[in-house]
A and B are shown apart, each in its own frame.
Chain A
Amino acid sequence: MKKKRKLSLTKKRAIAGLLFISPWLIGFLLFYVRSLIMTFRFSFSNLSMGVGGYDLEFTGLENIIYAFRAHGSFKQILTTSVTNMLIDVPLITFFSLFMAIILNRKFKGRGVVRAIFFLPVILGADAISEAMELAETMMNGGVAAQAAEVTATTSGTIAFDIDYLVTTFMNLGIPVKLLDYVAQAVDRINAIISASGVQIIIFIAALQSIPGSLYEVSRIEGATVYETFWKVTFPMVMPHIITNVVYTIVDNFSKSDIVELARTEMFTNFNYGLGSVFSIVSTLITCLILVIVVWLIQRRTFYYN
């Protein structure tokens, strides 16, 4: 190389850019790419942990065939996890959009309310929710308060009879599937609220970024509140709906039973090959769902800029 020849500015900047991202690049190759390849290899082999390392014994498709043909609960847990996800994601998205619209108004004590809505994110620690669940299951009839609640429900004076409502609506000719969906949604209101902390914050931020002039125009043109929502607010938050749906799916998946199954298979039963199959299959399905959902929403998305 000649000494005089200097690098052009674009090349210099390219090198600088690569230097800036280099820590992440090394980490990504080292931890993600390598690990994914390893997991892939594990799923085709029988792995045994030894003292000085691990031994791989290639078994071909045996693990996969076992998972789908012979394993007791894999298929069932997989389908319930996926259906639960498909039920929860739209509910969480619309609930958080709805709450964000309400919280976006000006009212007294808005800061306090917003802090409260972030609480589930703080309280979401596995240990804490585990302890809470444990407290609930262990207290069945144990503590006085619980017992009082039980008598209240059985006596039927305070309790709200949901069966009555369901049969009424069924007699009105509303499809049972829809009723089931609504009943499940009501049943899960707690889970839905606690899973939508981050989403609400993202939506609030999105709503704040809509230029006020758009609302002014629609008011002058005589649009009703309903029209304004569907013609202004909804298209403007559409890109953030994608962000939120992706976040919700990933979050939901990482807490689902199928992941739990993979973990027990690996670390409790020490069946690493099978566990790898579980996690790879479920990840592939989740990614497929993600791609389909994002594609479906993106077709209807309008980008302001």
Chain B
Amino acid sequence: MLNVKTADVKKFVGEAKYEIMDPYRRNAAFKKLKKFLEHLMSFLIIVGVSYVIIAPVIGMFVKSISSTKDAYDPMMFIFPRYPTMEKYKLVIERMEYWKTIGKDLAYVAVCTVIQLFVCSMVGYGFARFDFPFKKILFGCIVVMIVIPTHTIMLPLYITFRQFDPFGIFTRITGDYLNLMGTPLPMVLMTILGCGLRSGLYIYIFNQFFRGLPKEIEEAALVDGAGLWYTYFRIMLVNAMPSVITVTVFSVVWQFNDMFYANLFKISENIVISKKISTLAAVIANQDKILDIPIQQLYVAAGIILVIVPIILIYIILQRRFIEGVERSGIVG
């Protein structure tokens, strides 16, 4: 039996009445409701948008572990009935995954280190020194960010197809040097501060160095440090937030870059994303899997394999990255 006293009920009703009648408490109640609705809204939006972003990845993953039987199973929903890892096994073999990914990561790492070094140096030069035409030259950096690389792709192609700075190679060997198919053009451009989105990185570093107090350098100079030493051992160490921001951007974009990889015909043994485009054909040719939906399962496994390392790198750097962006040059 319910043990309800009439007095309790009366008290409850009275309080409710009181709550509605009293304007102050009513306001408080409304505010609570409003806040709840606000939280609910933002929660729903975040979940919805996150779903839109993650859904293809989940779909890709499910495809990559489902077996041939599952591909034609109309009852399958999210979880495959006969999950298998054989797709991965074959794809790793056909892509020569470990070898290629190792080479690719090494290539990306080299480019990133050069980017960090060169862009921070140029950014520092712009931030701390006065020289003639400084404003115009910095305008050129902005122009470099804005001009799409596609405008200059053909001259770049010709430059590196018939590589001949100051006629050195024609004089020695009597022929141009053909750099197509090697990662050299990309490395050369990066060394000269014109690599993939270098303009943006220079801008980031410049903004950050301008925000650092001048006293640090002055102290260093008084203590007898040379300009180079000051930059390399003092300023660059202080620029850690920018360094991390640029590292993440550079690694991700360099790894994903197909434009330069295609333009310079960099071998697909170095750029792994190029292998994705040919994976279906390779599978069809070598393993006689001609059913297109089944081929797609293999391609899905290949894509997962390609994006896993980059996601791992991002997760490792992520926490410091967001902090870094907050404190680095993009803001300001």
Give residues in A with beta carbon < 8 Å to B.
10, 13-21, 23-28, 30-32, 34-36, 38-39, 42, 52-54, 99, 102-103, 105, 107, 111, 113-128, 130-132, 134-135, 138-139, 142-145, 147-148, 189-190, 193-194, 201-202, 204-206, 208-209, 240, 243, 246, 250, 253-254, 259, 262-263, 266, 272, 275-276, 279-280, 283, 286-287, 290
Contact = CB atoms under 8 A, between A and B. Distances in A.
B4 interface: no
B303 interface: yes
A290 B303 CA distance: 35
B122 A20 contact: yes
Nearest to A251: B148
A38 B155 contact: yes
B144 interface: yes
Given A138-B296, A148-B74, A194-B53, A36 B326 contact: no
B314 to A, nearest CB: 6
Contact of B325 (A16, A39, A99, A204): A204
Interface stretch (B15-23, B85-93, B305-313): B305-313
A122 B331 CA distance: 22
Q: Size band of the B side of the interface?
A: 35 or more
B145 interface: yes
A14 B45 CA distance: 53
B130 A10 contact: yes
A194 B332 CA distance: 25
B146 A122 contact: no
Contacts of B49: 99, 117, 193
A74 to B, nearest CB: 15
Interface in B299-332: 299-300, 302-303, 306-307, 310-311, 314-315, 318-319, 322, 325-326, 330-332
B219 interface: no
Contacts of A114: 318, 322
Interface of B: 42, 45-46, 49-50, 52-54, 56-57, 60, 71-74, 76, 118, 121-122, 124-126, 128-132, 134, 137, 140-141, 143-156, 158-159, 162, 176, 189, 191-194, 198, 202, 227, 231, 252, 255-259, 273-274, 276-277, 279-280, 292-293, 296, 299-300, 302-303, 306-307, 310-311, 314-315, 318-319, 322, 325-326, 330-332
Contacts of A131: 276-277, 279, 299, 302-303
A220 B71 CA distance: 62
Given A17-B130, A143-B72, A34 B53 contact: no
Contact of B293 (A20, A139, A205, A279): A139
B273 to A, nearest CB: 4
Given A42-B154, A142-B292, A127 B191 contact: no
Contact of A253 (B71, B148, B292, B332): B148
B310 to A, nearest CB: 5
Contacts of A139: 292-293, 296
For the complex of A and B, 3 pairs with smallest distance between CB atoms: A17-B129, A27-B192, A20-B125
Given A16-B227, A38-B158, A250 B145 contact: yes
A112 B60 CA distance: 20
Contact of B259 (A19, A123, A126): A126
A125 B252 CA distance: 9
A233 to B, nearest CB: 14
A128 B307 contact: yes
Contacts of A194: 53
Nearest to A202: B330
Contacts of B189: 27, 31
Given A54-B158, A127-B274, A279-B151, A20 B76 contact: no
A67 to B, nearest CB: 15
The CB with the most chain B CB atoms within 10 A, among A25, A28, A279, is that of: A28
